[in-house]
Amino acid sequence: MKYKKYIFVFCLAAIGLCSCSEDETPLFDTSYSALNVWFGTTGSVLDSINYNYSYTLGAKDLMFQARILGSVSNVDRTFTIEAFSGDLTEAKGSFSTDTYTIKAGESSAEFPIHFDTSKLSNSASFTTKDGHLWFRLVENASFVKGAESMQILKVVLKNYLSKPTEWDAAIYPLRAYSLYFGKYSKVKYQFMIQELGLVDFHISYTAIKPYDEATNTLSANYASYLVQCMQLALSNYNSSHTTPLTDETGAAVTF
């Protein structure tokens, strides 16, 4: 009798254990994780990033990083961000965000915030004083905010462009921009920045390297090559638009 009693008690205990494992909430819920967001690279975090409306004629993306704090999932998970503070009214229409997806099996990815200079309602905005936009994660069933230092994306808005001091004249061994790119105009310089990604660079007659990133210096030969690049870019622009690119005076841009 005692033997049968022990078997009965053991069975009840086993049933109880099975019941707990099936009905209780798991200790780790892999579908619900925190998400860090930041500007910079996977190895460095920037406090903020600039967007200068004068550096592009049209659209440009600012890229941010997102990384899961917690276990990866075997299904795709989406999230959104929102602009919650700053010069929202003045910048309205010139920026947008997406619904972003962290792919199944992945823990991090890079995503864009879209800007478009042509959609800035007032061309004088941010020309005398910097503006700001602050973005944050919109929490959902998949993600909550991550580490305190990685919850906010700050964009500094600028809209000014100054003529490089070496455009018309330069002291040897530096060479003037005008010898390569012709007469200055704000639109021409904007177009160059948009296509080449170079701002306030130097052209050196004695430089050996085509481009020295540390000093932002081009060799004379490389500058000549970039002129050809700009001629091709201008031709592509003009062929894809109903009117050719003109500067602020109405004159056609040429290289």
pLDDT tens, position by position, 211-224 = 999 999 999 999 99
> What is the predicted pLDDT for the residue at 14?
46
Q: Does residue 164 carry a pLDDT above 70? A: yes
**Mean per-residue pLDDT for 234-245?**
96
Q: In the chain, pLDDT over 70 holds for what percent of residues?
A: 87
Long-range CB contacts (within 8 A, 24+) of 88-92: 88/133, 90/121, 90/122, 90/125, 90/126, 90/131, 91/120, 91/125, 91/131, 91/133, 91/157, 92/121
Q: What is the mean pLDDT of the chain?
A: 89
Q: Does residue 147 carry a pLDDT above 60? A: yes
> What is the predicted pLDDT for the residue at 43?
83
Residue bearing the bigger pLDDT, 1 or 66: 66
| pLDDT band at residue 207 under the 50/70/90 scheme | very high
| pLDDT band at residue 199 under the 50/70/90 scheme | very high
pLDDT tens, position by position, 7-51 = 444 444 444 444 444 444 344 445 579 999 999 988 889 989 999
Question: Which domains can be identified in the chain, with CATH numbers?
Answer: 33-158 (2.60.40.1740), 161-255 (no CATH)
Asked whether the beta carbons of 113 and 157 are under 8 A apart, the reply is no
Q: Does residue 181 carry a pLDDT above 80? A: yes
Asked whether the beta carbons of 192 and 182 are under 8 A apart, the reply is no
Single pTM value for the model:
0.74
Q: CA-CA-CA-CA torsion for 153, 159, 165, 167, nearest 10 degrees? A: 110
Count of Cβ atoms closer than 10 Å to residue 119 Cβ: 16
**Mean per-residue pLDDT for 175-202?**
96
